[in-house]
Structure 1
């Protein structure tokens, strides 16, 4: 299945490679094309400047010394081959050639622009010799005395330079295309590697490996952030799945005993003679076990409602000091029967917005656990303190304590440190305490060590009198 999934990603990798190579290639073509365009224009402009300078020099001779002197200068340059890099031609007003100086291979240059079309501005035209594969750029203008001067320059060197640049351009473009394909392939693989890792991880999880995780690349970018969140989600899912399995195992274990007792009670009632007292006692035991199962289901429902945020709370002003004193008085009788001393320090009145019934339920579970696990002659203490912005309730006991391995799990539903289930209970009390406090915006923590007892610390946010509506009256006496 993994290979088939990876095969579906190959077109994506190919498309990324093609897109990257295409963008890289056409960007390079555009860059080199613009460079060639500006280089060609600059070179051509430089040629015209050189020709224009030459024309200006000869025009100055005609202006200062006359057209005949200019004719003699051009003839002398032709005789002594002074200007072999330039083509020079002087015509009169009728178009007749007065003087001309040019290399032999430039013979046959056309007259160019008619004299009547010229003025003192330079006019340009070009002539190309197909035989010599050479191009001549020519500038023409009217000079003093009515003459027309044509000055040309061979563009062979320029054409060679631009041709060399074009060859280099094609070579670089081909290399750029190859580099784009290689870079696109590497980029596509690097980009899709987290997705491939994700697919492999999901395939492993699909096969039952809940510990499989997507490897981190260590780049610290958005993909690493995504991988970190995904792995955290997998950790959460694994924790939930593991907890659900353990919850189901614990529920099955805890329900087996009452169901077995109910079955035995029903069987005893069936074999009991009509009107016998044994049958009524068996049915009473069945009713008690049914009540125990119903209590377990109700508690599980309460915990689920609190954890999902749908628990119905009747919020009002509650004096925690009075509530702590009330619960200490109630459980004082139970502690006395077991030989445990229960003391309370409710302190000054502390007002919070809470559901009084749910808070009684949470404190009752904490005190019930403390009394239940404290041996005879031991001591249980409940106190209330005011901290900055919070109210803190502490329930301490002299019980056996909780091991560090069990402490992170004691607030899980149906989890019991006593694996043998020798102490009667549902394993839901502390889970309900945490759920109720979470619904109130508070929290519960445990401080414990084996052989040193335990202390459960409840923290609830304080409220101002404006939130309470009417603050509760302070407890007197």
Structure 2
């Protein structure tokens, strides 16, 4: 109920805003039109008066004062005529239908009675001018016409504004409800996803050009894809952890049963205790590997980047592991003499190199040659660990980077099954490429670093 109220409130608010903007724009345009129209009508009256004054000046010049009086009386009787007031040089009023005292020369506005004051006062625009014979001629135009135009425009604007308001409210309500319905569909997809339907995604509006809501839907879908991938990864890891821990825990149970067996000899009990300790160590190593990978993925592992010599770091790690690798019946070759610098975290890169060497030693037979090399390929600094063992089939190389994934031949080997997964996590932290390739024979694992990898926080 609260959600529906919020939606309606948001829709009403947006509709009101859209309508207010529309009406505001309409009122602004209407105000400009109102004053411009009134000004145009007044200018037309002013121009008519000026032309009439020119005509009367010509008339007095051609026909004299008597001709002027006759012309004015003739014009004053015509429909829609202007108003006239003619005062002779001696002060006598020859013609006066303005109902006003003597105007000042030039343009003035006066209030005068209309039609014998039957219709009350009216505003006149008056032009007064002294003629060559000393008489004063005033010609007036009634501004009621301009006022009538103003009222008509105002009335039209009022009705148009009301209609625009209704149309604006309707259009805004339609557009807003449509947008909110699409947003509600996105929210519904998120709720269904949270309820367990991990296949649901937010839908697009259709075949038209994508808009902002489509961009939101794309962002939500990207997030849902990531969450679904993480959820699948968690399920896969949970199953793998349960499977991998079952064996050492079963061994531990067997050893503890031997310890508790009254018929077991002292030597058998000592061996059982030692076996239980080994099983516990296996479990601890698995949990340590899980915790390490989680820290790297989440960015909580030590994450200070520096400029370092990757070739020197690889040579140092190889030297530390060479004795153990050779003791296991394998040979380690290092070709990392040339200094090659990258931006990276020393601790994490050392962990990645160590994992690659341990992985090569653990999953190859006795007599295998293992090589580690750091070299430049264009602007990329590459770290390669290769062996001539059985390798990994091409169809399984992508899955080999998943946590706890093991080849069938490696099921009985030691290790947590997280070696390459941790390397992949470290590569992502460094924005580095990680490629598993064929060494002909064997496996080659290649890490590629840019000249200055981006530092992620």
TM-score range, shorter chain: 0.7 to 0.9
Say whether 1:430 aligns with 2:420.
Answer: yes
Residues 401 and 452, structure 1, Cα contact 8 Å, conserved in 2: no
Match of 1:249 in 2: 239
Question: C-alpha distance in 2, partners of 1:250/1:165?
Answer: 81
Q: State the Cα distance separating 1:427 from its structure 2 match.
A: 1.0
1:358 deviates by 6.5
In structure 2, the partner of 1:143 is: 130
Equivalent positions of 1:433-472 (< 5 A) are 433-436=423-426, 442-447=432-437, 453-459=442-448
Cα distance change of structure 1 residues 419 and 65 upon mapping to structure 2, 3 Å threshold: farther
Contact 1:126 1:136 in 2 (8 A): yes
Q: Distance in 2 between matches of 1:433 and 1:138?
A: 94
Structure 2 counterparts to residues 3-18 of structure 1, below 5 A: 5-18=3-16
- Say whether the 8 Å CA contact 1:62–1:69 is kept in structure 2: yes
One of 371, 384, 394 as aligned partner of 1:393: 384
Per the TM alignment, residue 385 of structure 1 is displaced from its structure 2 partner at its CA by: 4.3
Aligned partner of 1:40 in structure 2 is 38
Aligned to 2:314: 320
Alignment of 1:55-454 (within 5 A): 55-59=53-57, 61-62=59-60, 67-75=65-73, 85-92=81-88, 96-99=92-95, 109=97, 111-112=99-100, 114-115=101-102, 118-127=103-112, 128=114, 137=124, 139=126, 141-144=128-131, 145-153=133-141, 164-217=152-205, 219-273=209-263, 276-312=266-302, 318=312, 320-321=314-315, 323-324=317-318, 327=321, 330-335=324-329, 342=331, 344=333, 346=335, 348-350=337-339, 362-374=352-364, 379-387=368-376, 388=378, 389-399=380-390, 401-404=392-395, 406-418=396-408, 421-436=411-426, 442-447=432-437, 453-454=442-443
User: Structure 1 stretch 69-78 or stretch 36-45: which is displaced more?
Assistant: 69-78
Report SS of the residue matched to 1:57.
Answer: helix
Deviations, residues 345-384 of structure 1 (Å, cap 9, x unaligned): 525344557888866654453344345444678x544241
Give the number of equivalent residue pairs. Answer: 440
Query: Could you say what secondary structure the match of 2:106 adopts?
Result: coil
Query: CA deviation digits over 1:113-154, x for unaligned, max 9?
Result: x23xx4432333254458579967352525334534332345
**Cα pair 1:324 1:346 within 8 Å, conserved:** no
Question: Shift in Å at residue 84 of structure 1?
Answer: 6.2
Q: Structure 1 residues 349 and 119, CA, compared in 2 at 3 Å: closer, same or farther?
A: closer
Q: Cα distance, 1:222 vs. partner?
A: 4.8
What whole-Å deviation, never above 9, does each CA across 1:41-81 have from its counterpart, x for those lacking one? 11012102211321343245457765444234434556xx5
| Cross-structure match for 2:455 | none
CA distance in 1, matches of 2:346, 2:187: 50
Length-normalised TM-score, structure 1 = 0.76
The RMSD of aligned alpha carbons is 4.0
From the superposition, tell whether residues 291 and 231 of structure 1 become closer, same or farther in structure 2 (CA, over 3 Å): same
Bigger Cα displacement from structure 2, 197-206 vs 128-137: 128-137
Please tell me whether the aligned partners of residues 367 and 395 of structure 1 are also in contact (alpha carbons under 8 angstroms): no
Equivalent residue of 1:185, what SS? helix
- The verdict on how the C-alpha distance between 1:206 and 1:361 changes in structure 2, with shifts beyond 3 A counting, is closer
Query: Judging changes above 3 Å, is the alpha-carbon distance between structure 1 residues 4 and 242 closer, same or farther for their aligned structure 2 residues?
Result: farther
Asked if 1 retains the 8 angstrom alpha-carbon contact of 2:125 and 2:143, the reply is no
Q: Provide structure 1 residue ranges, at least 5 long, that are not aligned to the other structure.
A: 101-108, 337-341, 464-477
What is the rounded CA distance, in whole Å, between the counterparts of 1:95 and 1:175 in structure 2?
A: 58
1:20 CA drift (Å): 0.6
Deviates more, 1:148-157 or 1:206-215: 148-157
Deviation at 1:99, TM superposition (A): 3.6
